[in-house]
Amino acid sequence: MSLLDVCDLSVTFGRRHRPALDGVCFSLDAGCRLGVIGESGSGKTVTALAVMGLLPEYARVSGKVELAGHQITHLSEAGLARLRGDVVTMVFQEPMTALDPTMRVGRQVAEVLRLHAGTESGPARAAVINMLGEVGLEDPERVADAYPHQLSGGQRQRVSLAMALINAPDLVICDEPTTALDVTVQATVLAKLNDVLDASGAACLFISHDLAVVSQVCDQVAVMLDGRIVETGSVAELFARPQHPYTQGLVATARLDQTIPGQRLPVVEDFYRPGVSR
Amino acid sequence: MQLAGRILTRLGVFAISLVGASVLIFVITHALPGDVAQTLLGDQATPEAVAQLRAELGLDRPLVVQYLDWFGHVLTGDFGVSHLSGDAVVSLLLPRLAVTMWLVGFSMIGSLLLAIPAGMLAALKRRSWQGIVVSATAQLGMAIPVFWGGILAVMVFAVWLRWLPANGYVPLTQNPGSWAAHLVMPVVTLSVVQAAVLIRYVRAAFVEVLNEDYYRTARSVGWTPMRALLRHGLRNASISLVTVLGLQVSSVLVGAIVVESVFNLPGLGSLLLTAVSQRDLLVVQGTVMFLVLAVLVISAVVDFSYLLIDPRQRAAREAR
């Protein structure tokens, strides 16, 4: 049985007629990594929030989301809260605002540990410092005592990563975790993410608009467009034989090294125009 | 060094506000129709007798001279002597200050204890009937004048149910039980009215928190909505609430004046009302100066409390 099973998931917000998600199906086995790729508004984040059970209350959800044997759509708030941070965790896009500005980051990480494992504060601190070191932060003791505003974007995102990994979750959802970082920091954070995922054996749902980034972390990719998954496959397959015109566009833009010098760079619209091929 | 400069600036503002307020108070009290000599001598007094008394009290001197004389003494802690009773104004103020401090202090605490949970609930449940009920009740509460609420409370709890004394005051040192019983209704009345105003701000502050990324992070690591708000929202929301609270202090003081007169409490408010009606100008000026001082001190405290709440402000200040 897979760790995560999403079947015919549809989500509509408020009184809008057009669904944000329209019959999304995918599954993820324990320890595997699935990249979800698509442009903004294609439903990537909504999918992630649906798996977390964090959709706003005015969202209408139908279909099945089964995580580690739990039906997410049927769980109570308290039941969901027990899973979140323990079985499934999430790293968000904006490291600058994702942490509480008024609390030292070490405490914020320790809190996650104590909330689920009930660890005492002494051992919790040791575990936090250890975890902060593992996600590649130098001088973890000092970082633990810092407030978020005293850290750089890359450091904060590593702290978020530490928060997401400290309870050894079965599934880590990363929602564009490196988009807000500059390119050099992006590369080191991605490398570290790979390391810690390898070490912990956690599965990962990695959301991005950038195929090049996804290919560094994931083995499988699902391409989303207008609330649907239009194509799935292994990263290698997708690069070699993209089927959907939108995917072809994505692959071309991710392979800028293959463009002949002097020629115009490819854009997705060369391959796929919204409303034409549907 | 920077902190010292900061404190000096603050003290400068403090001094200017105080002088400005003293001029304003002096001008307004002297613009009041009627005068204390007339009150002292009664309606039957001859104009000559009134004029003679005015001269004795120094009321016939130019206003500027009277102001400088008064403010000079105020700076040395001498608020003058009541024309009517002959008591030093300070000796009238101090025992009454305690009553007003109990009333205002407990009412601020009471209004926060009411407004914070209610405002949080209104924010969390803003799309369901519970939130609408809280907001509507707060609106209704805001529409109720303090004195009307006080009189209603007296009718219900003192006259019909006979649970609490209708009015009056007993000092804490004399009988703590009776002191508490006399304070319950005034404090509750003022708390409820203030809470009705505060709930809107609390709700707005927490709605803002609900839209913050760190709230979503807190939810994603396993806090339930209420606990996420308490754990990560309260401190962040209090940054904006402290500002509102600082501004509310003056309106609580105004409310206290009304409540004191409804419940016949011997506080600063009732002293002020009596002094105004008797044109006992030095008492009026002294009391208002005292209230202004209280408001200024509290706003200074509010300004520095940001430093305790928000680590970013501490950093900004250290960097400056």
Listed by start position, the domains of chain B span 2-75, 94-319
pLDDT bracket for residue B313 (50, 70, 90): confident
pLDDT bracket for residue A277 (50, 70, 90): very low
Predicted-assembly ipTM surpassing the 0.85 threshold: yes
Q: Which two tokens stand for residue B111?
A: 């209004």
Nearest chain B Cα distance for residue A236, angstroms: 32
Q: From A93, which residue of chain B is nearest by alpha-carbon distance?
A: B213
Question: For A128-169, how does the pLDDT look when each residue is reduced to its tens digit (9 = 90+)?
Answer: 999 999 888 889 999 999 999 999 988 999 999 999 999 889
- Contact: B214, A57; criterion CB under 8 Å: no
A110-117 long-range contacts, Cβ below 8 Å, gap at least 24?
A111/B221, A111/B231, A112/A85, A112/A163, A112/A166, A112/A167, A112/B221, A112/B222, A113/A166, A113/A167, A115/A85, A115/B221, A115/B222, A115/B223, A116/A82, A116/A85, A116/A86, A116/A167, A116/B222, A117/A167
Q: Which residues of B are less than 8 Å from A90 in CB distance? A: 220
Is-contact A72 A53, C-beta < 8 A?
yes
**pTM beyond 0.80:** yes
Q: Which residues of A are less than 8 Å from B221 in CB distance? A: 84-85, 89, 111-112, 115, 163
- Contact: A97, B219; criterion CB under 8 Å: no
Q: Which two tokens stand for residue B153?
A: 């409370």
Question: For B106-137, how does the pLDDT look when each residue is reduced to its tens digit (9 = 90+)?
Answer: 999 999 999 999 999 999 988 889 888 998 99
Please indicate if any CB of chain B lies within 8 Å of the CB of A156.
no
Question: For A203-252, how does the pLDDT look when each residue is reduced to its tens digit (9 = 90+)?
Answer: 999 999 888 888 888 989 999 998 999 999 998 888 888 888 888 888 88
Mean pLDDT of the region A76-83? 91
Q: Which residues of A are less than 8 Å from B235 in CB distance? A: 100, 102-103
Q: Which residues of B are less than 8 Å from A79 in CB distance? A: none
Q: Which two tokens stand for residue B225?
A: 């909505």
- Contact: A102, B217; criterion CB under 8 Å: no
Domain B94-319 architecture:
Orthogonal Bundle (1.10)
Give residue B317's pLDDT. Answer: 63
- Contact: B214, A81; criterion CB under 8 Å: no
Q: Which A residues 244-263 touch B at CB under 8 Å?
A: none
Nearest chain A Cα distance for residue B127, angstroms: 8
Please indicate if any CB of chain B lies within 8 Å of the CB of A112.
yes
- Contact: A83, B222; criterion CB under 8 Å: yes
Q: How many residues does chain A have?
A: 278
Question: For B227-275, how does the pLDDT look when each residue is reduced to its tens digit (9 = 90+)?
Answer: 999 999 999 998 888 888 888 888 888 888 889 988 888 989 889 888 8
Please indicate if any CB of chain A lies within 8 Å of the CB of B223.
yes
Give residue A160's pLDDT. Answer: 92
Tell me which of 3.60.60.10, 3.30.70.1140, 3.40.50.300, 3.40.50.2300 is the CATH number of domain A4-241: 3.40.50.300
